[in-house]
Amino acid sequence: MNPMMKYTLARLGLFIAAAAVLLVVPIELNPFLRLGIALIASAILSFFLLRKLRDDVANQLADSARDRADRKEKLRSALAGEEQD
């Protein structure tokens, strides 16, 4: 599976878990405030718990950027008339 999709699903799962916990806790808070707290809590948790997935996404993006730069350079040299092996 694509690392970006794994990371996105993991972030969504963390948010849903945090929201479920906060919505079940019997305290008097606006539901939107609870969801906001769940959003902040899931962002903090993902910073610590999803480091490997985040690194995988960063590596994937760096590889694709490097591939695009290589293709761009090959195209420029081909358009300039330079031969490459």
* pTM for this model (two decimals): 0.76
Closest by CA to 46, choosing from 22, 16, 15, is: 15
CA distance 73 to 62: 16
For the stretch 73-85, pLDDT in tens is: 999 988 988 765 5
For the stretch 7-55, pLDDT in tens is: 999 999 999 999 999 989 888 889 899 999 999 999 999 999 999 999 9
